[in-house]
Amino acid sequence: MIEIKKLTKQADNKLILRGIDLSILKGETVAILGPNGAGKSTLLKVLASLIKPTAGSVKINGLELKKNQLEIKRMLGYLPHSSLLYDHYSPLENLVFFGNIYGATEVEQRAVRLVKEVGLSFFLNEPVKNFSRGMIQRIAIARAIIHEPEVLLLDEPHTGLDQGAISILNNVILSMKGKKTTTLMVTHDFKQAAEICDRIIIMKNGRIADDFYIENQNIGFVSKKYQLQVEGAS
């Protein structure tokens, strides 16, 4: 589904990504862990076509990213740190606007259903500016999946959420996984990574330091691997 070869990104003489090679299968849910400045968010931004890579190639669903940006963007759902929502718009208006931009069909019905799924149907027509951080994040995830993307790119989606919102978010990610959506999730939350992901990638200094599959939501195994790679402990 996603094929990354020798991906390099340089900004102001600093190498942010140093020759990333990565292959992700369709339907996989992958967590990207790593310390600050490891290049995790940059990798997502390159995949989302927000940043042009310095060198290397990225293929999504067999399509070269450089040559097929619009087709690839149509397949992607991207959720960065910011909500990407218009403050004075209601959840419904935000979702309908982005759904239309993505060329989705039956946008309004889908938007209403998604708002209900994230537990905010009571606030369907309230402006987003009155929402708490958790509520905004729930609408933001609904925005990212309004067009039923084949690939979901999530940048620290659990940050600042309460337990209820985390469980709603995880349910949404798992239901997308049920629909064979490929998910890449940058996170610092080992517990969530172990709970919902099949595979963990640890990045350090712009390189992939480790790449492994996990079973039985073994958080201890993830922590041990992380410590070994990032903190150098054995």
Partner 1 sequence: MNLLRTAVLLAKKDLYSELKTKQILVTQIIFAALVIVVFSFAFDPANNTTKAVIPGVIWVIIVFAGILGLNRSFISEQRNDTMQGLLAAPMEAASIYLGKFLANFMMILVVEIISIPFLFLLFDFKFLGSLPYFLIVIFLGSFGFVAIGTFLAALAANSKSSEMLLPLLLFPITTPILIGVVQATRIILTNMEKLASALAWIQLITAYDVIFFVVCFLLIDYVLEV
Which residues of this protein are in contact with partner 1, per CB under 8 A? 45, 48-52, 70-71, 73-74, 76, 78, 80-89, 93, 97-98, 100-103, 143
For partner 1, the closer CB: 143 or 225: 143
- Sign of the alpha-carbon torsion through 156, 160, 165, 167: positive
Residue type at position 118: V
**Tokens representing 227?**
């410590």
Cβ-based nearer residue to partner 1, 96 or 118 = 96
User: Of 49 and 187, which CB lies nearer to partner 1 in the complex structure?
Assistant: 49
CB-based contacts of 128, cutoff 8 Å, min separation 6? 83, 85, 86, 87, 88, 89, 90, 91, 94, 136, 139
Which lies closer to partner 1 via its Cβ, residue 104 or residue 214?
A: 104
* Nearest residue (CB) to partner 1, 64 versus 87: 87
Q: Kindly report the length of the chain.
A: 234
Residue 140: CB minimum distance to partner 1, A? 9
Q: How far is the CB of 221 from partner 1 (least distance, A)?
A: 33
- Give CA–CA dist 115/113, Å, rounded: 6
Give min distance, CB of 67 to partner 1, in A.
14
Measured from the CB of residue 151, what is the shortest distance to partner 1 in angstroms?
Answer: 12
Output 137 or 187, the one with its CB closest to partner 1.
137
Residue 208 burial (10 A CB sphere; 0-12, 13-18, 19+): buried
The answer to whether residues 118 and 138 touch, using CB atoms and an 8 Å cutoff, is: yes
What is the rounded CA–CA span in Å between residue 218 and residue 232?
A: 20
CA-wise closest residue to 135 among 109, 164, 107, 156: 164
CB of 61 to partner 1, least distance (A): 14
CB of 123 to partner 1, least distance (A): 17
